[in-house]
Structure 1
């Protein structure tokens, strides 16, 4: 069995470590070893900031997404809808009114009345 050594911590820090260790690990030794390994393998210092937190990243993403949505709505109003309306009006099929051609003449109904009558030859009929 490994031997133990005593390290002096302030009471508040020791209590915080004990609570954290009990919540995540089986023993305090395991908790400390994992934390030291984390800093060693990732080559970071516990004093340096790792950058924005998840909350700030999420807030920034929401802002950008809202900006993109606003841009798309504006494009839809100013470009897409008018263009679609113009294209639809081009493809609507309305029968154009039939206008008679200039060269086409309308024939008037012929009257069956005879304007001239042939002379009857009275001699031949008798």
Structure 2
């Protein structure tokens, strides 16, 4: 059986460690060994900063994405839409409306059709 040794910690630190080890590990010894192994194998110091956190990376990505969206909207307004409008106008085939010439006169007038006519009596009157 392994022997134990007492280490003195401040009360607040000991309580924080106990809560942490109870939630993640089976024993306090296992928790401390895992933490020490983590720092040893990754060759980092607990006092070092590991770089940007997930929140700061997310915030910077959101800023960059918003900038890209703004650039794309500007391109759409200034380049894409006007270009599409010009290309569409080139491919539209509207026949020009035929206007009558000034010299040409319309001489044929349509007479309304008569539906009923009076019957004429032709009697021999001589």
Q: Shorter-chain-normalised TM-score: which range?
A: 0.7 to 0.9
Deviating beyond 3 angstroms after TM superposition, the runs of 4 or more aligned structure 1 residues are none
Q: CA deviation at 1:95?
A: 2.8
Structure 1: runs of 5 or more not aligned: 99-126
Q: CA deviation at 1:96?
A: 4.7
Tell me, yes or no, if structure 1 residue 42 matches structure 2 residue 42.
Answer: yes
1:102-117 alignment runs, 5 A limit: none
Deviations 1:18-49 (A, max 9, x none): 01101111110110011001000000000000
Tell me, yes or no, if structure 1 residue 19 matches structure 2 residue 23.
Answer: no
**Paired residues, number:** 99
TM-score after normalising by structure 2 = 0.74
SS in 1 for 2:45: coil
SS in 2 for 1:61: helix
Structure 1 CA distance, aligned partners of 2:93 and 2:25?
76
1:1-126 alignment runs, 5 A limit: 1-96=1-96
TM-score after normalising by structure 1 = 0.74
Q: CA deviation at 1:97?
A: 6.0
Q: CA deviation at 1:94?
A: 1.9
Structure 2 CA distance, aligned partners of 1:21 and 1:77?
58
Other-structure match for 2:121: none
